[in-house]
Amino acid sequence: MIKHLFVLFAFLYSPCFSAQEISVLKYSNKPIHARGIAVKGNYLFLGNNNGEVIRYTLKNGRSKSLNPKDTFPEIRDLALHKNTIYAMQSADYSIILKLRRHGRSMKRIHLGTMKLNPQLFLDGMAIENKEVFVMGDPVGNEFSLFHSSDLKHWEKITHALPSFDGEAGFAASGSTVQISNGVYYFVSGGEKSRFFMSKDKGQTWIQSELPFKKSNASGAFSLAMKDTNNGIVVGGDYLAPNSRENICFITKDGGITWNASTSGPFGYRSCVYYTDGVYYSCGTNGIDYSKDDGTTWVQLSNENCFSICSDKEYVYASSTNGRIIRISKVGI
pLDDT band at 107 (very low <50, low <70, confident <90, very high): confident
pLDDT the model gives residue 332: 60
pLDDT band at 159 (very low <50, low <70, confident <90, very high): confident
pLDDT the model gives residue 9: 38
Residue 114 pLDDT > 60: no
CB count within 10 Å of CB 131 equals: 16
Give the architecture (CATH level 2) of 87-314.
7 Propeller (2.130)
Residue 5 pLDDT > 70: no
pLDDT the model gives residue 286: 97
Query: Would you report the helix, strand and coil content of the chain in percent, each value rounded to 5?
Result: 0, 50, 50
Residue 95 pLDDT > 60: yes
Residue 251 pLDDT > 90: yes
List all residues 6 or more positions away from 13 whose beta carbon is below 8 Å from its beta carbon. Answer: none
Q: What is the spatial distance between Cα 208 and Cα 226, in angstroms, rounded to a whole number?
A: 18
pLDDT tens per residue, range 7-30: 333 333 333 555 679 999 999 999
Residue 172 pLDDT > 50: yes
pLDDT band at 236 (very low <50, low <70, confident <90, very high): very high
User: Under a CB-based contact definition with an 8 Å cutoff, are residues 70 and 52 in contact?
Assistant: yes
pLDDT tens per residue, range 45-81: 999 999 999 999 999 999 999 987 666 789 999 999 9
Q: What is the spatial distance between Cα 74 and Cα 305, in angstroms, rounded to a whole number?
A: 17
pLDDT band at 112 (very low <50, low <70, confident <90, very high): low
Residue 101 pLDDT > 50: yes
User: Under a CB-based contact definition with an 8 Å cutoff, are residues 309 and 43 in contact?
Assistant: no
| Helix (H), strand (E) at residue 261 | none
pLDDT the model gives residue 11: 37
Cα–Cα separations (whole angstroms), residue 218 to 194, 211, 222, 328? 12, 11, 12, 31
- The closest of 223, 308, 41 to 316, measured between CA atoms, is 308
> Residue ranges per domain, the chain?
87-314
Mean pLDDT of 309-328: 98
Residue 216 pLDDT > 50: yes
- The closest of 255, 136, 115, 131 to 196, measured between CA atoms, is 255
The order of strands in the sheet holding 106-109 is 75-81, 84-89, 96-100, 106-109
pTM, 2 dp: 0.92
Q: Return the SS3 of 112.
A: helix
Read out DSSP for 179-248?
EETTEEEEE-EESS-EEEEESSTTSS-EEEE-----STTEEEEEEEESSSS-EEEEEEETTSTT--SS-E
Burial (0-12, 13-18, 19+ Cβ within 10 Å), 108 = exposed
Burial (0-12, 13-18, 19+ Cβ within 10 Å), 1 = exposed
pLDDT the model gives residue 206: 96
pLDDT band at 135 (very low <50, low <70, confident <90, very high): very high
Question: What is the rounded average pLDDT for all residues in the chain?
Answer: 90
Percentage of the chain surpassing pLDDT 90? Answer: 78
| Helix (H), strand (E) at residue 171 | none
Mean pLDDT of 230-236: 98
* Range with the poorest average pLDDT among 56-65, 113-122, 237-246, 312-321: 113-122
If one compares 257 and 89, the residue with the highest pLDDT of the two is 257
pLDDT the model gives residue 19: 66
User: Under a CB-based contact definition with an 8 Å cutoff, are residues 306 and 270 in contact?
Assistant: yes
Q: What is the spatial distance between Cα 97 and Cα 55, in angstroms, rounded to a whole number?
A: 15
pLDDT the model gives residue 18: 58
Among the ranges 29-33, 86-90, 107-111, 149-153, which has the highest mean pLDDT value? Answer: 29-33
